[in-house]
């Protein structure tokens, strides 16, 4: 079992480059199989969830050629089945985008129901509703979502609540429907826009992505394209908060500052200095930070995926903070681990954390409960006195590329080791003192 060992107390300093957005890449890679022509995708984050999705499409006949550390060429002209029923596919959420992509291209798909981080019940009823509105028959049987249509037809689809996944999935299928499809109360998140831009670069006709109404004129065929994925706003936000947590001075490059506004606003509110450039952002912090009230919301509100990192930062801020989670019902599991490190956090009614800032956290052995909760525990380790061991790093590796390497380059005393590699652990402890 691999784990991170962190010796806290080092100020993060220097420059870090952000990778491509995992959650956009999942939609874009799924979309890339909708043409028989070659698609080149740049800025692909080399993380576990992406590698699982790539393996899944390879297993149905797609050829993937890595032509650089973060660039792939996709050739989907030899797909030989629309059944994506592999056990490993159940482990990621983004596999459901293969339903929309295969339904658009072949008018049928059978895909293992998605798993993903255990942060709530995560139903897919809005996806199903959208596929049915396009004229498909949807059945859930034996752990698979089975979708089939004679033809995909146009029409209006109203989502009664916003869903990133459902918006992208239905948009994928709809771009090869007959006639116009209008998605109302669509999700506005940056990755919805990125997937739409990518589909348009393949010849789709999608207008309005990034607003609540997306209009899609169906086309008969999509063609090859070259595209670069947007930077990962969550990875950027994680480094912003890690810099603030360690009273550091970090320049975060390859970002779109507009996508980070909700994090910037909270960092300014609690006393961090934030300097924005065209495609970079610098975070400088000194002294003890202040408290804040935060509620997670859909974009452009405060992103649920940054809630654990925010709570962690507030755990050592002066005063009492309140963090309310309104998107997923089970996203405070990491709080128990923070309490083991000395934080004073009470979670009430499972969606609100009341945080009384303590002077210091102390190192402990903690376990990453999910992807973002795991990243938050790393930030806690960077701030804490002494050594912190973060177990279950495979969760963190689902979404952060070279996480410990990027942290080391900023000066963090942090390594990834096998828990039984006593020699490496001894060597690290000797080195960092
Ligand atoms: C995406 O999940 C992201 N995942 C999540 O990031 C992110 O937290 C979430 O959007 C919100 O921004 C990917 O992009 C792969 P939703 P998704 O559909 O699409 C409910 C990470 O850490 N809902 O917008 O699953 C749902 O339960 C991950 O990178 C239904 O009830 O999110 C939730 O409460 C974790 N029925 C809310 O809507 C549905 O059919 C929002 O979910 C669909 C969703």
Q: What is the pLDDT of residues 375-391, one digit of tens each?
A: 999 999 999 999 999 99
Residues counted in the chain: 433
Query: What burial letters (b/e) apply to 356-387, b meaning 16+ CB within 10 Å?
Result: ebbeebbbbebbbbbbbbbbbbbbbbbbbeeb
Q: Is the pLDDT of residue 61 over 70?
A: yes
Q: What is the pLDDT of residues 304-335, one digit of tens each?
A: 999 999 999 999 999 999 999 999 988 999 99
Position in ligand 1 atom list of the atom nearest CA 119: 35
Q: What is the pLDDT of residues 260-278, one digit of tens each?
A: 999 999 999 999 999 999 9
Residue 15 alpha carbon to ligand 1 centre in Å: 31
Angle between the 97-106 and 125-133 helix axes, to the nearest 10 degrees?
10
Confidence category of residue 85, pLDDT binned at 50, 70, 90: confident
* Residue 393 Cα to chain centre, angstroms: 16
Residue nearest to atom 28 of ligand 1 (CA): 305
Long-range contacts of 337-340 (CB under 8 A, 24+ apart): 337/364, 337/366, 337/367, 337/369, 337/373, 337/377, 337/380, 338/311, 338/312, 338/366, 338/376, 338/377, 338/380, 340/364, 340/366
Q: Is the dihedral of CA 418, 420, 423, 429 positive or negative?
A: positive
Q: What is the pLDDT of residues 197-244, one digit of tens each?
A: 999 999 999 999 999 999 999 999 999 999 999 999 999 999 999 999
User: Which residue in 75, 16, 8, 87 sits closest to 40, CA to CA?
Assistant: 75
Residue nearest to atom 13 of ligand 1 (CA): 23
Position in ligand 1 atom list of the atom nearest CA 303: 12
Q: Is the dihedral of CA 195, 199, 201, 207 positive or negative?
A: negative
**Residue list, ligand 1 pocket, CB within 6 Å:** 23, 26, 93-94, 117, 120, 122-127, 163-166, 187, 189, 304-305, 327-328, 371-372, 399
Residue nearest to atom 38 of ligand 1 (CA): 163
- Sheet with 71-75: strands ordered across: 63-68, 71-75, 39-42, 225-228
pTM exceeds 0.85, yes or no: yes
Confidence category of residue 78, pLDDT binned at 50, 70, 90: very high
Catalytic residues: 117
User: Which residue in 234, 320, 311, 230 sits closest to 266, CA to CA?
Assistant: 311
Predicted confidence at residue 86, as pLDDT, reads 83
Report d(CA 63, CA 54) in Å as an integer: 9
Residue 119 alpha carbon to ligand 1 centre in Å: 10
Residue 146 alpha carbon to ligand 1 centre in Å: 21
């Amino acid at each position: 079992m691999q784990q991170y060992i962190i010796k806290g107390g080092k100020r993060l300093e220097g420059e870090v480059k952000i990778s491509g957005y995992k959650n956009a890449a999942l939609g874009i890679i799924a979309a890339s199989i909708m043409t028989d022509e070659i698609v080149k995708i740049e800025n692909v984050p080399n993380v576990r969830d992406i590698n699982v999705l790539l393996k899944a499409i390879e297993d149905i006949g797609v050829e993937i050629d890595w032509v650089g550390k973060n660039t792939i060429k996709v050739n989907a002209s030899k797909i030989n089945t629309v059944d994506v029923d592999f056990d490993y596919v159940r482990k990621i959420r983004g596999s459901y985008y293969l339903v929309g992509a295969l339904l658009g291209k072949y008018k049928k798909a059978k895909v293992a129901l998605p798993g993903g981080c255990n942060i709530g019940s995560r139903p897919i009823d809005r996806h199903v509703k959208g596929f049915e509105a396009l004229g498909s028959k949807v059945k859930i049987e034996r752990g698979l979502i089975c979708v089939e249509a004679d033809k995909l037809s146009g029409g209006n689809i109203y989502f009664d609540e916003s869903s990133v996944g459902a918006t992208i999935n239905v948009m994928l299928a709809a771009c090869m429907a007959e006639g116009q499809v209008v998605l109302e109360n669509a999700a506005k998140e940056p990755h919805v826009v990125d997937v739409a831009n990518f589909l348009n670069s393949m010849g789709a006709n999608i207008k309005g992505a990034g607003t609540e109404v997306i209009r899609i004129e169906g086309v008969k065929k999509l063609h090859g394209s070259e595209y670069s994925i947007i930077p990962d706003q969550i990875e950027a936000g994680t480094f912003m908060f890690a810099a603030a947590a360690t009273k550091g001075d970090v320049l975060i490059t390859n970002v779109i500052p507009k996508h980070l506004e909700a994090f910037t606003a909270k960092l300014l509110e609690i006393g961090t200095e934030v300097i924005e450039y065209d495609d970079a952002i610098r975070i400088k912090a000194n002294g003890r930070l202040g408290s804040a009230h935060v509620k997670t919301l859909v974009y452009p509100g405060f992103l649920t995926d940054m809630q654990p990192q925010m709570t962690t930062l507030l755990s050592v801020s002066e005063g009492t903070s309140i963090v309310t989670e309104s998107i997923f019902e089970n996203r405070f599991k990491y709080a128990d681990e923070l309490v083991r490190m000395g934080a004073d956090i009470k979670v009430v009614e499972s969606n609100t954390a009341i945080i009384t800032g303590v002077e210091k956290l102390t190192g402990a052995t903690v376990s990453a409960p999910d992807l973002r909760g795991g990243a938050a525990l790393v930030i806690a380790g960077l701030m804490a006195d002494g050594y912190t061991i973060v177990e279950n790093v495979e969760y963190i590796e689902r979404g952060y590329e070279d996480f410990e390497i990027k942290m080391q380059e900023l000066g963090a005393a942090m390594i990834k080791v096998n828990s039984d590699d006593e020699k490496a652990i001894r060597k690290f402890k000797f080195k960092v003192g």
